[in-house]
Amino acid sequence: MFGPDYMKDGLDWKKEHFALQKVRKLKNLKKLVLAAQKAPNPKIRAAAAERLSDQAVLFEIAKNDPELSVRKTAVGKLTDPSALAELAKTHPAWETRREAVKKLTDQAVIADIVRNEMDSGVRNEAVELLTDQALLSEAALHDTDYFVRLAAVNKLTDQTVAAKVATTDKEPNIRQAATEKLTDQTVLAKIAAKDKKAEIRQAAAEKLTDQAALLEIAESDSSPIVRRAAISGLTDQAILERFAREGRSDMERNAAGEKLTKCASGHDFVFEREESDRRDDDQMRLITYTYYRCSRCGKKHTRVDDGWGRVSEFDSGW
């Protein structure tokens, strides 16, 4: 076959390399369009398409080229909203529809794709761009695909819908994402008390401010991570001191100790001194003792950091 190398088939890697260089330097628009449309090698067609700006030519390439990589390049150069909308709605290849959806800005077109697109990956891309809260609510509640529902939940602002998703969706990750959107203390208390997954109860407890609900969870939940989350939300210093001494696990005692600023009588602790002791137990670590004393009744308290991220609290007699 006569003509430039970039219009030839069966190029070895070296000839392909030089052909790509030629295409990337072409100044003749007609030759560039010809290469983008007719070159046998898809890498050459993609390289030529990358240099085009003619929207009609790019649309034809995006619509008709047999290679996904070439179509993707052409879609990436398209800016014509009507061409992008047509590709997003009608192209037979879901990959090309998805690439076109990524560039959409018309909310009416995006909404149409969320409602009617059969491929979940394309719907997911559309949901990521959607701003219509009513349609996002519909997708969050009823879409059959996990990733589409999750994407919709992440964009929800409707508390009623978020509450329904948080309490009814079969997928734990989606319930948790919805729980993290909630502010309603009654709903959060219900989730913190009843969800089967500890991680979701924990997420709800972390958003609770109701002290009675937090205390009940801290005392009765079966999971230490949920109890710790509840303890971290408590403010009553006498209760915190009890958990610092009697918590069922280190993490609970530590959580209480980190919030403890007063003695059981409600007096502020006053910082006394801090001492460090380096000890070698196969690994070097620095144990830090921090001493406090009650400003009024003289009660003493010690916090110990063992150098491995574990902190314990106890009354002391120093």
User: What's residue 60's pLDDT?
Assistant: 98
DSSP string, 78-125: ---HHHHHHHHHH-S-HHHHHHHHTT---HHHHHHHHHH---HHHHHH
Neighbours of 191 (CB within 10 A): 26
pTM of the entire predicted model = 0.76
**What's the DSSP call for residue 7?**
G
Helix ranges, the chain (H)? 13-25, 29-38, 42-49, 55-64, 68-77, 81-90, 94-101, 107-116, 120-129, 133-142, 146-154, 159-168, 172-179, 185-194, 198-207, 211-220, 224-233, 237-246, 250-259
Instruction: Give the residue extent of every domain in the chain.
Output: 182-260, 261-318
pLDDT, one tens digit for every residue, the chain (318 residues): 435 666 666 667 678 888 899 999 999 999 999 999 999 999 999 999 999 999 999 999 999 999 999 999 999 999 999 999 999 999 999 999 999 999 999 999 999 999 999 999 999 999 999 999 999 999 999 999 999 999 999 999 999 999 999 999 999 999 999 999 999 999 999 999 999 999 999 999 999 999 999 999 999 999 999 999 999 999 998 898 888 878 888 888 878 877 876 665 666 666 555 566 655 555 556 677 666 666 666 666 666 666 555 555 555 554
Q: Give the residue from 169, 165, 207, 174 showing the smallest Cα distance to 188.
A: 207
53 C-beta neighbours (distance < 10 Å), count: 10
